[in-house]
Chain A
Amino acid sequence: MATPSATIEPADSSGYATIVARGKLVTDAFNVVGTNFAAIAVDQGGVALLNAGTITGAGNGVWVANNGTLEITDVSITVTGQAAVNTSNGATVDILGMPNVFGADKTSLTGGSYGVLCHQGNLNLFTNAGGSIHIPDNPIAGISALGCNVEANGLATGVISISNNGVSGQFSAALELHGDYAILNTVKIANNLDFGISATAAAAVEINGSTITGNSGTAISASQNAVVDIESFHGINTMTAGSSGSLFGCYQGGKI
């Protein structure tokens, strides 16, 4: 049975956001059309729980700033602004892939440049059995983290896929990790134009039971004292060299 949906449109496309959450916001089965800046802004300690729906527009999908908290489940974000999810200054973002009350699951993040642009915060991706998170078709990066801790756990038969990102002639990576740490458990990173993972600026990255294949650039790059650990507690890692790059690349003090 299809998920029902209603739509929220902006009062003014030049406004800050269609919905501003500074208290607690819950949406169930809503399509939100954004302004030129954002569809939903979560700031000043606000909390937004978005369940089942879509977000579209010319700006960011969800802007999370100033200690805002966002949790999305079964939400498809396709916007042409900078990022599907864009964070700043103490944001906490949970992206969940799990069947909702309507039995559907279509969590997907595509922005004009980034799927998730995480600055100074925490980003968690989690799937349970039957759930999925897809981050495709982002020109610069599926996930770009700067001062942001990233944890991705594709548990049970859940799928976290950061694939088919990048555009020709643009340096890009499925994951750009600048500093802080990232834990990638059972994540698929495939068929991206350019790098699979680019870890820089002393980032600490742990890869476990993941697939990094079919990318055009180097599969895993560690530079500027970044350290990448590859472990197999969550299953076998499957990795192939980029069609125009290496399997591993270490530069400027980076270690794998």
Chain B
Amino acid sequence: MSGKRILMCTMGGLVSLVWAGQADAQITVNCGAGQTISGALAALGPSNTTVVFKCFRHLPRESDDPAQ
């Protein structure tokens, strides 16, 4: 997994996707206010992987991130 990925807060498989991050992977996890990522162990693998957790006032949309 490399390049940019956008995940929704409620998306399943967050654990494995983040753990599997490889060189230069950039992962953004978009959540809305009040949402919960339950049981999500977000472990960042390689040193050059970036994971950003962003919270929006509204439920996130794909258009929230121009990188999508």
Q: Which residues of A contact B (CB under 8 A)?
A: 4-12, 15, 18-30, 44-46
Contact = CB atoms under 8 A, between A and B. Distances in A.
Contacts of B36: 6-9
B41 A20 contact: yes
Given A6-B35, A23-B48, A44-B47, A28 B41 contact: no
10 contacts: A4-B57, A9-B40, A10-B39, A11-B40, A22-B46, A23-B49, A23-B50, A29-B55, A30-B31, A30-B55
B68 interface: no
Contacts of B67: none
Contacts of A44: 47
B45 A5 contact: no
Nearest to A6: B31
A30 B53 contact: yes
Interface residues on B, range: 20 to 34
A58 B46 CA distance: 28
A6 B34 contact: yes
Contacts of B38: 9
Given A20-B41, A22-B49, A30-B53, 11 more contacts: A6-B9, A6-B32, A6-B34, A9-B36, A9-B39, A9-B40, A12-B41, A15-B41, A23-B51, A25-B52, A26-B53
B51 A26 contact: yes
A20 B40 CA distance: 11
A147 B43 CA distance: 29
Contacts of B53: 6, 8, 25-28, 30
B52 to A, nearest CB: 4
Contact of A20 (B32, B39, B44, B52): B44
Contacts of B4: none
